[in-house]
Structure 1
Amino acid sequence: MTLHTSAEKSRTKQWTVRLDLFEQGDLTKVHAVLDTGDTTLQSRTSAQRNPHDAPVPEIGDEYAAGRALIDLGNQLLRAGSTDAAPSR
């Protein structure tokens, strides 16, 4: 059993997420980069406007960026599971 004491040191880290958005007509593309200081994860996603919807670029930005962030989150969860798995 490990006892945790109040003498344990706390730590602070800063992770940086960069989202680059590119619009090409009705298509919005996103390149997302997460830099943890120890590793870098990347995601490339897109959103296509339905031709029957009004042309509101912000909506495409939100969908494409949201998809990129979800993908980065899934990558982090997979990395955590791999790192937590016992060595064989």
Structure 2
Amino acid sequence: MTHTAEWTVGVSLTEEGGTTRARAVLDTGTAKLVGRGSARCNPEDVEVPAIGDELAASRAMRDLAGQLMRAADRDLAAMGAVPEPPRTGYGWPQDADDPTRRGR
């Protein structure tokens, strides 16, 4: 099966009072997701706008990526394609009272 799609991501940046804010918008053609991020310049540091842009944009895209992963997880669960949840490494096993299972 061949499938081709083109999604677009736009990032807008604004800086005011030493704080840079980024908004990343993913447009799939059928849905839009918006990620947000910010960066604040320490008042004692030299102001370099490009660094604030990079930090804020990367944080907005990380937020966007997390939303996309959660959407995929929900879609997988809806399809019944999610494997069993991982077993925890703490607590007693359910069959701890079974003497034939001890020592394993």
TM-score when normalising by structure 1: 0.83
Q: In the comparison of the two structures, how many residue pairs are matched?
A: 80
Is residue 14 of structure 2 the alignment partner of residue 13 of structure 1? no
Runs of 4+ in 1 over 6 A off after TM superposition: none
Quote the residue 1:28 is aligned against: 20
Which of 74, 85, 90 aligns to 1:82? It is: 74
Identity %: 49
Q: Which has the higher contact order (CA 8 A, sep 6+)?
A: 1
Query: What is the CA distance between 1:87 and its match in structure 2?
Result: 5.9
CA RMSD of aligned residues (A): 1.5
Which AA in structure 2 matches 1:50? N
Query: Unaligned 5+ residue runs, structure 2?
Result: 81-104
| Contact kept in structure 1, 2:36 and 2:61, CA below 8 Å | no
Q: Provide TM-score, normalisation by structure 2.
A: 0.71
Whose strand fraction is larger, Structure 1's or Structure 2's?
1
Paired residue for 2:88? none
Q: Distance in 1 between matches of 2:26 and 2:20?
A: 20
Question: Which segments of 5 or more consecutive residues in structure 1 lack a partner in the other structure?
Answer: 1-7
Tell me how far apart the structure 1 counterparts of residues 14 and 8 of structure 2 sit (CA, whole Å).
20
Q: Which has the larger radius of gyration?
A: 2
AA at the equivalent of 2:17: G
